[in-house]
Amino acid sequence: MAVQDAVRAFVQAEIAPHAAAWDKAHHFPAEQLKGLAALGCYGVAVPTEWDGAGLDYLSLALILEEVAAGDGGTSTVVSVNNCPVCSILMAFGNADQKERFLKPLARGDMLGAFCLTEPHVGSQADGLTTTAVRVQDADRDGYVINGVKQFITSGKHGDVAIVMAVTDKAAGKRGISAFLVPTTTPGYTVARVEDKLGQHSSDTAQILFDNCRVPAANRLGDEGQGLKIALSGLEGGRIGIAAQSVGMARAAFEAALRYSKDRQAFGVAIFEHQAVQHKLADRAPQIAAASQLIRPAASQQ
């Protein structure tokens, strides 16, 4: 696949050599992400009419595998921008929202975040406490959002967030709605950036919404469609996470194989010891099988 080959070449030249240093320094690789965007990686399955690459979810899975093989954190940034962010806009955005948000997201002029998870709630979409109250006055029609979102990928470096909030408490699961919130909106605050075990090239933030007002034109779909919208994004996003996992496993295996051939013990490379060969031989088909399992899931998306 030509696109996969191009992404692999870029990643191995521009990303993989720097991944360890980025992780140590908590560096956000803005320039390298621009390079990936230029290759079409920000909107892989977005139609060309909306400035995407016009490919499919199988292509997205293959691309994410290659990016993750170079740096897991960078692949997470790209994965979330594609799905759930772009995928939700494709499915539920109107023409105006696609023009204002989907096009720049697919081109790489914007970066997207997905605000579902909350403290003590996790990704249980029907247990949200963040609220969005409709406020209409003489010259404005909008919603005021209040609440906290947790573990948000690109919450700090993103330009626009898809935010799930309760618009009707009495309606339960049917009382959740989705909103497009530019991160420059007053009331959108990065409360903290999490100190994780890894993937530090991707920021994971806690976001505070304090009387954050957005126009009604920024609501995605109808009121009450939020749960459906959130689940649709998570469905495709899980394929991306699986592809990332395979890419990182492949890179780890290749590093172990190289090390086993370089490391000398008792006068020979440890690769020559049968017990080491058995371990490597067990892992190689497991990684290959996992990669193959992703393909039918991605093809059906």
Q: What is the pLDDT of residue 301?
A: 86
Which pTM does this prediction carry? 0.95
Number of Cβ within 10 Å of residue 292's Cβ equals 10
Report the distance separating Cα 226 and Cα 211, nearest Å: 20
The CATH number of 113-226 is 2.40.110.10
Confidence of residue 126 (pLDDT cuts 50, 70, 90): confident
Q: What is the pLDDT of residue 121?
A: 82
Q: Could you read off the pLDDT of 61-114 as tens digits, one per residue?
A: 999 999 999 999 999 999 999 999 999 999 999 999 999 999 999 999 999 999
pLDDT at 251 over 70: yes
Q: What is the pLDDT of residue 125?
A: 67
Q: Could you read off the pLDDT of 13-37 as tens digits, one per residue?
A: 999 999 999 999 999 999 999 999 9
Q: Could you read off the pLDDT of 201-231 as tens digits, one per residue?
A: 999 999 999 999 999 999 999 999 999 999 9
* Higher-pLDDT residue of 126, 287: 287
CA 206 to chain centre: 16
3-class SS at 120? coil
Confidence of residue 138 (pLDDT cuts 50, 70, 90): confident
- Per-state percent for the chain, helix, strand, coil, to nearest 5: 55, 20, 25
Report the distance separating Cα 226 and Cα 243, nearest Å: 26
Confidence of residue 292 (pLDDT cuts 50, 70, 90): very high
pLDDT at 137 over 90: no
258 burial (CB, 10 Å; 0-12 / 13-18 / 19+) is: exposed
pLDDT at 123 over 70: no
Strands 141-153 and 188-193: unpaired
Report the distance separating Cα 262 and Cα 162, nearest Å: 48
* CA 16 to each of CA 70, 250, 287, 290: distance values in angstroms, whole numbers, following the listed order: 4, 13, 20, 22
Q: Could you read off the pLDDT of 161-206 as tens digits, one per residue?
A: 999 999 999 999 999 999 999 999 999 999 999 999 999 999 999 9
